[in-house]
Structure 1
Amino acid sequence: MDHCKDFIKAEFPCIDIEMFQYIEGVLENGIDDFHDTEDIYEAIGEVLQEIANKSESDIRGICSKLLHLIHPHSNSNASKNGHTKILDAPVHLASMAADLEDNDMEIKSIWVNSRDDSLKVDKKKLKKAQEKLQQKHDKRTEQVVKGVGSISVASSNKMDGATASQVTSKKEAKLEAKGNNRAQDIKIENFDVAYGDRILLQNTDVTLAYGRRYGLVGRNGLGKTTLLRMISCGQLRIPSHISILHVEQEVIGDDTPALESVLQCDFVRHGLLTREKEINLLIANGSAASADLSSELSEIYMQLSAIEADKAPARASVILDGLGFNPEMQKKATKHFSGGWRMRLALARALFSKPDLLLLDEPTNMLDMKAIIWLENYLQNWQSTLLVVSHDRHFLDTVPTDILHLHTQRIDTYRGNYEVFEKTKNEKLKNQQREIEAQNAHRSHVQEFIDKFRYNANRASSVQSKIKMLEKLPELKAIEKEVEVVLRFPETEGLSPPILQLNEISFAYPGCNNNILTNVNLGATLESRICIVGDNGAGKTTLLKIIMGILNPTLGVRNVHRNLKFGYFSQHHVDQLEMNQCSVELLQSSFPGKTVEEYRRQLGGFGVTGDLALQSVGSLSGGQKSRVAFARMCMSNPNFLVLDEPTNHLDIETIEALGKAIQKYTGGLILVSHDERLIRMVCKELWVCGGGGVKSIEGGFNEYRAIVERELAEASK
């Protein structure tokens, strides 16, 4: 055994003393029962693989050498064919088979090598040993990291109910401490993210290669926004030399002009210009150290020239213009802008800053179609790393080079845009299903053979080999399919036309001299599928409110059928929900007098089922809140839907379900949306707001997109 001990120490120099003693004990106790390599591998192979980064074939080779050290004069053929057992007396198999139950173990003993249970790996002991090894590893790593300072290992941090834990390797910690880490790729390895008691991500790895554009997708409520926040606020650690900018909060309103607000986020340029003004003022006042100041001023001019500071205003203006800020708006103080426009300013500042890692969460939500098209074109030339959460299918087909799919507490990476991802994922799932079915069929076939010949002496070796083969087959987990989202709008009864007519409508808000809408003539029926598009501020929402009678036109006549019942989903509908109530209570307070089963049935029609319906609305994700809002809107059984930006909080699957629900809906529809896929799915007529009027485009969305792209091309010249 001394040779075996020396050999194990040589092969595994870093082996823990407890594990070494465990392996030594197994080998000593079973020295007379090891007849081939397979016997040794079954006894200690699993343990050896746990303590060393070696392949199965390497471990089997080590087991073979151990067998040779234990039995140096053994016959190789005997070891291959197994140990020969000599019977003490003739055995009459037929008589033994007649009394099978009583003699089961005796029959088996004839041709099955009995094995001492002490040779088998004790699962509890193995688990305990592994835990001890892991604790020691974590302790050593933590000591190293604490010694270098800035990074902690497996530490949990809280942020708005969310926590993250991450293990950092010694190598990374040392590089970070010495300031030698200059890698541009970002690797976040072995991390967990939880929200309260709910685990969002577990033992996850994410790699972001420099210069790639990543789209983060997944169902609502799985933790996409939480992950971005964890990265941006340092809960999940990345190299300190990499600059991060997360567009999440709107710009604070003050007296700073919009253009200057964007320029100020270039801190190097802003600092140099501020210092330039200070020096010029000192020189003008006759400072005694004017020679030194002049030298410093020359250095500042050289630095300003190196960063092309003179071109910065033009670059900032191009970005602002692309996001919808005309020259007059660029001069306005930020305090005069609404929250949506301040979010656009925050996006403009991020694009101008060019951080190493730009994090965007639903950037298209605050944009009109023209700005979305501009942003798609701009981000296609983004030089550094981009990580964007979006549910806009066309945006995900246009911008990302890679897709990160968040599901079942992990993240899978796919090369290509969303369309490629969807095809690859579906093909991958099909292959996995085929593999599972093939393995199940193989298992059934082998098991059938085992059951048939289990007690046949002539087939004993074959039966045993097949049993071993079954034990070694990998366990393939059943594919966890995501639950399909289904939305159901209520059935409606037909109405005789005319249904809705606007004749010579004009509108201006009180105290405003300019009309937002002038001489509008429009009509709709229960078969209408109309989409309204146009720049922000062009009057889309105002037109919707006139159609529904919320606003009265300044001039003109609005005619509607007396039985026409509108269902209105406003873009702020979700924010107006009572957050402290559960979904059932919300419907009950809005439409009293019905049973709890009716409220739950209504919510179930929009995917709010089970415990979700009993959670407080405030604890639901944005998409889940939107479904609750849809359920409440449809409680009155409307026969004409008016949907203003309904997709802002919905994931791709729910947007797809919304499109299918609209296609099946028997009432009329007017939709305001910037989601190109939804528009193409459901809309048959396109109304364009702009210039104080509304016009219908015969060519539909294709013609409108072509018009916008021509305008952008002309503006960029």
Structure 2
Amino acid sequence: MITLKNVTLRRSAKVLLDGVSATINPGEKVGLVGRNGAGKSTLFALLNGSLHEDGGDFFLPPQWRMAQVAQHMPETAEPATAFVLDGDTRLLALRLALQKAEQAGDGMAIAQAHSDLHDAGAHDAAARAQALILGLGFQVHELERPVNSFSGGWRMRLQLARALMCPSDLLLLDEPTNHLDLDALVWLEAWLQRYEGTLVVISHDREFLDAVTQVTLHIDNAQLTRYGGNYSQFEELRAQQLTLQQAAYERQQTKIAHLQKFIDRFKAKATKAKQAQSRVKALERMEKIAPVLASADFTFEFKEPPNLPNPMLAISDAAFGYPPADGGTPTTILRGVNRTVLAGQRIGILGANGQGKSTLVKTIARMMPPLGGKVTEGKGLSIGYFAQQELDVLHGDDHPLGHMVRLARTLGVDAREQDLRNFLGSFNFSGDMVQQAVGSMSGGEKARLVLAMIVWQRPNLLLLDEPTNHLDLATREALSMALNEFEGTVMLVSHDRALLRAVCDEFWLVGRGQVGPFDGDLDDYQRYLLEEARRLRELARATAEPSAPAAATAPLARDGREQRKASALARQQLAEKTKPFKRELEQVDKRLAQLGAEKAQLEQRLTEPLPPTEIADCGRRLKACGDEIETLEERWLVLSSEIETLEAAQASS
């Protein structure tokens, strides 16, 4: 188990943990929570060995294998599958050992290496790596793309997959949900629930913490407190604890006041001096209970819009996608879109990764033109747009006040500097912070600046694409409250289910090339994602193939009876198409079983005393078996991919 006993941790001169003690048992899944700057990352640094305790005793079992997500951005041209596969450090070491044994012609070492590789799961390692990559939202045709061809967010997903690929007894995850869509987040939750090792995770997503943790460690005022239960249970227990602490504090203050009154009244009287002195000693011995200080949580509000057009906008038979590049053809993602947005609506936009959520939002936000149809805006429509990449377009060498001055000039508004300073102060940019370079700020501070700039514009339609990625729990709560009090219309894309539940009263589903209403709540959608994750990945791949336009025209829902008839016919047609592939796949499976048995016999034989010539023969045959197994496994993947392609094409027709 992991133990901390009277541990003190400092960052420079600041004490972040002061004489804390805690225990983490093997197999526990722990959520590490606390305000930004409380010391969560510092405790992580202690756990991963990059920081040592300044006092007390810290113990982590030396035999435990540790995995965590590398924070640097990978720049390699290595294919995605190979990059993730290299996360299995044990396989890497064993393959190196096999290579050395083969170079030395050491039959016994070759046999041992093959046996060890089999035990380490080398036979299905590539398939496991690809399952991780696909689960985190990538498409099949991206499995062999170079890592450096992906954007930063997608590369961080590959870093996460690489960490999950690593065999571990302790897994450390620091904000693993920041770069994930809701479908990938649901998949990650299911994976972590099956993880058998010890997990310690930092996250500001309360529903994610509720789903994957059973213990909560809370850092507050340089103290570390362990609570049994997930985040919601921790909140309830802490609220009860604070209530009891406040009541005990008030009772103690009453007692102190009574003792002090006696002391003040009788300390000058000779007959009462002895009693007064005993009460002075009682006060000195009394262990003081700290008061519960009201925390100054961040709050803000959206200003009342100057007008509310109704409808806000109307979309008629529209096609959304990307305009042609270099005179080519446009890429259509969504077609036949007919939706109306009314004043006061709270719309959550759902959909699997790659289905077109951001494309829809960007087009409504005027960042991209529609490829067809019509988008009619209401008179006086004013859009406040928070994009996932919004933080990247801030000027790193400028400061918050400079951003506000430039925004006012762009909008042609005459604003006094002091008014802008006061406004920034309401978003916790006070004093010297208004002159601090944005590039030196944290992700949460940058996100608050973007929110401040949106609020100042007084929009009547808010388009928010993953606004919580860099926000802590307190700021997420403030955003949720502000959105609920906002009098305009909200359209929200987010993987934060707590925010979606609190803000949205209806949902749109983006999928299969169309946009339609989703008849259900977030629990229904989560079940839908878990059940349909594989099919959605296949459909995402199909959109990049010639059959994609046909797939895009499929309706989101069909009549039940017609659907059953169509499904039966589709299954029959699919069986005919996939029959030859499945027949060959069965033959490959049989041959793999034969080779596996032969390999096991050779490995067993090599454990017995044999003449050197037989050892060499067994080693060569073992290598031949391994090579054939590798070839057949590659063929198995090709056949499986062909079958999946046919199934995807059938599903999308």
Does the 8 Å CA contact 1:379/1:399 hold for their aligned counterparts?
Answer: yes
- Helix, strand or coil at the partner of 1:387: strand
Deviates more, 1:372-381 or 1:699-708: 699-708
Distance in 2 (CA, whole Å) between partners of 1:513 and 1:624 is 37
Corresponding residue of 1:673: 494
Query: Structure 1's 544 and 389: CA in aligned 2 closer, same or farther, altered over 3 A?
Result: same
2:353 maps to 1:536:
yes
Query: Structure 1's 462 and 481: CA in aligned 2 closer, same or farther, altered over 3 A?
Result: same
Distance in 2 (CA, whole Å) between partners of 1:497 and 1:715 is 35
Shift, 1:327, TM fit:
3.5
Distance in 2 (CA, whole Å) between partners of 1:227 and 1:527 is 44
Corresponding residue of 1:212: 28
Candidates 99, 105, 111, aligned match of 1:298: 111
Shift, 1:467, TM fit:
2.3
Query: Structure 1's 189 and 199: CA in aligned 2 closer, same or farther, altered over 3 A?
Result: closer
- Helix, strand or coil at the partner of 2:370: coil
Does the 8 Å CA contact 1:269/1:304 hold for their aligned counterparts?
Answer: yes
Does the 8 Å CA contact 2:171/2:198 hold for their aligned counterparts?
Answer: yes
2:171 maps to 1:358:
yes
Q: Amino acid of the residue matched to residue 399 of structure 1?
A: V
Corresponding residue of 1:331: 144
Deviates more, 1:661-670 or 1:572-581: 572-581
Query: Structure 1's 395 and 668: CA in aligned 2 closer, same or farther, altered over 3 A?
Result: same
Q: Amino acid of the residue matched to residue 686 of structure 1?
A: F
Candidates 468, 473, 487, aligned match of 1:647: 468
Query: Structure 1's 233 and 453: CA in aligned 2 closer, same or farther, altered over 3 A?
Result: closer
Does the 8 Å CA contact 1:217/1:406 hold for their aligned counterparts?
Answer: yes
Shift, 1:575, TM fit:
2.8
Corresponding residue of 1:228: 44
Corresponding residue of 1:176: none
Shift, 1:397, TM fit:
0.9
Query: Structure 1's 571 and 581: CA in aligned 2 closer, same or farther, altered over 3 A?
Result: same
Q: Amino acid of the residue matched to residue 505 of structure 2?
A: K
Map 1:155-234 onto structure 2 (within 5 A). Answer: 184-187=1-4, 190-194=7-11, 200-205=16-21, 207-229=23-45, 231-232=47-48, 234=50
Query: Structure 1's 483 and 631: CA in aligned 2 closer, same or farther, altered over 3 A?
Result: same
Shift, 1:560, TM fit:
0.3
Does the 8 Å CA contact 2:3/2:21 hold for their aligned counterparts?
Answer: no
Corresponding residue of 1:700: 521
Deviations 1:34-87 (A, max 9, x none): xxxxxxxxxxxxxxxxxxxxxxxxxxxxxxxxxxxxxxxxxxxxxxxxxxxxxx
- Helix, strand or coil at the partner of 2:177: helix
Candidates 664, 670, 678, aligned match of 2:485: 664
Deviations 1:629-651 (A, max 9, x none): 11112222211111111100111
Candidates 92, 108, 126, aligned match of 1:270: 92
2:134 maps to 1:321:
yes
Candidates 472, 487, 496, aligned match of 2:285: 472
Distance in 2 (CA, whole Å) between partners of 1:463 and 1:199 is 39
Corresponding residue of 1:571: 388
Query: Structure 1's 465 and 226: CA in aligned 2 closer, same or farther, altered over 3 A?
Result: closer
Corresponding residue of 2:397: 580
Distance in 1 (CA, whole Å) between partners of 2:527 and 2:237 is 31
Shift, 1:275, TM fit:
4.5
Deviates more, 1:336-345 or 1:248-257: 248-257
Query: Structure 1's 629 and 257: CA in aligned 2 closer, same or farther, altered over 3 A?
Result: same
Distance in 2 (CA, whole Å) between partners of 1:523 and 1:625 is 33
Corresponding residue of 2:427: 606
Distance in 1 (CA, whole Å) between partners of 2:126 and 2:147 is 17
Does the 8 Å CA contact 2:313/2:340 hold for their aligned counterparts?
Answer: yes
Does the 8 Å CA contact 1:188/1:236 hold for their aligned counterparts?
Answer: no
Query: Structure 1's 594 and 227: CA in aligned 2 closer, same or farther, altered over 3 A?
Result: farther
Query: Structure 1's 580 and 198: CA in aligned 2 closer, same or farther, altered over 3 A?
Result: farther
TM-score under structure 2 length normalisation: 0.74
> How much identity, in percent, do the aligned residues show?
36
Shift, 1:492, TM fit:
1.1
Deviates more, 1:421-430 or 1:463-472: 463-472
Candidates 206, 218, 239, aligned match of 1:405: 218
Shift, 1:329, TM fit:
2.7
Does the 8 Å CA contact 1:191/1:202 hold for their aligned counterparts?
Answer: yes
Shift, 1:607, TM fit:
3.5
Q: Amino acid of the residue matched to residue 561 of structure 1?
A: G
Does the 8 Å CA contact 2:5/2:19 hold for their aligned counterparts?
Answer: no
Distance in 2 (CA, whole Å) between partners of 1:575 and 1:502 is 30
Map 1:415-430 onto structure 2 (within 5 A). Answer: 415-430=228-243
Deviations 1:537-566 (A, max 9, x none): 221111112112221111111100231111
Distance in 2 (CA, whole Å) between partners of 1:201 and 1:317 is 40
Candidates 316, 336, 345, aligned match of 1:519: 336
- Helix, strand or coil at the partner of 1:312: helix
- Helix, strand or coil at the partner of 1:364: coil
Deviations 1:123-150 (A, max 9, x none): xxxxxxxxxxxxxxxxxxxxxxxxxxxx
Corresponding residue of 2:588: none
Corresponding residue of 1:256: 78
Return 5+ residue gaps in structure 2 as ranges. 54-58, 538-653
Shift, 1:251, TM fit:
6.0
Deviates more, 1:233-242 or 1:476-485: 233-242
Distance in 2 (CA, whole Å) between partners of 1:266 and 1:309 is 10
- Helix, strand or coil at the partner of 1:365: coil
Q: Amino acid of the residue matched to residue 164 of structure 2?
A: L
- Helix, strand or coil at the partner of 1:485: coil
Corresponding residue of 2:512: 691
Map 1:501-520 onto structure 2 (within 5 A). Answer: 501-509=314-322, 510=324, 511=328, 514-520=331-337
Query: Structure 1's 251 and 617: CA in aligned 2 closer, same or farther, altered over 3 A?
Result: closer
Corresponding residue of 2:609: none
Distance in 2 (CA, whole Å) between partners of 1:715 and 1:516 is 14
2:456 maps to 1:627:
no
Q: Amino acid of the residue matched to residue 219 of structure 1?
A: R
Distance in 2 (CA, whole Å) between partners of 1:540 and 1:621 is 27
- Helix, strand or coil at the partner of 1:516: strand
Q: Amino acid of the residue matched to residue 536 of structure 1?
A: N
Distance in 2 (CA, whole Å) between partners of 1:553 and 1:714 is 28
Shift, 1:188, TM fit:
7.3
Distance in 1 (CA, whole Å) between partners of 2:274 and 2:505 is 71
Query: Structure 1's 596 and 207: CA in aligned 2 closer, same or farther, altered over 3 A?
Result: farther
Deviations 1:214-260 (A, max 9, x none): 21222234343454356446123665544433314366344433222
Does the 8 Å CA contact 2:69/2:173 hold for their aligned counterparts?
Answer: yes
Deviations 1:269-328 (A, max 9, x none): 233334445655x5xxxxxx75xx222211212222332322333333332232223433
Corresponding residue of 1:141: none
Q: Amino acid of the residue matched to residue 380 of structure 2?
A: N
Q: Amino acid of the residue matched to residue 429 of structure 2?
A: V
> With CA pairs under 8 Å and 6+ residues apart, which has the higher RCO, 1 or 2?
2
Query: Structure 1's 462 and 258: CA in aligned 2 closer, same or farther, altered over 3 A?
Result: same
Shift, 1:663, TM fit:
0.8
Corresponding residue of 1:370: 183
TM-score under structure 1 length normalisation: 0.68
Shift, 1:189, TM fit:
5.2
- Helix, strand or coil at the partner of 2:467: coil
Shift, 1:501, TM fit:
0.9
Q: Amino acid of the residue matched to residue 190 of structure 2?
A: N
Candidates 480, 497, 508, aligned match of 2:310: 497
Pairwise CA RMSD of aligned residues? Answer: 2.7
Does the 8 Å CA contact 2:80/2:147 hold for their aligned counterparts?
Answer: yes
Query: Structure 1's 337 and 713: CA in aligned 2 closer, same or farther, altered over 3 A?
Result: closer
Does the 8 Å CA contact 2:309/2:380 hold for their aligned counterparts?
Answer: no
- Helix, strand or coil at the partner of 1:363: coil
Q: Amino acid of the residue matched to residue 493 of structure 1?
A: P
Shift, 1:680, TM fit:
0.4
Does the 8 Å CA contact 2:468/2:496 hold for their aligned counterparts?
Answer: yes
Distance in 2 (CA, whole Å) between partners of 1:598 and 1:409 is 37
Candidates 246, 263, 267, aligned match of 1:450: 263
Q: Amino acid of the residue matched to residue 215 of structure 1?
A: G
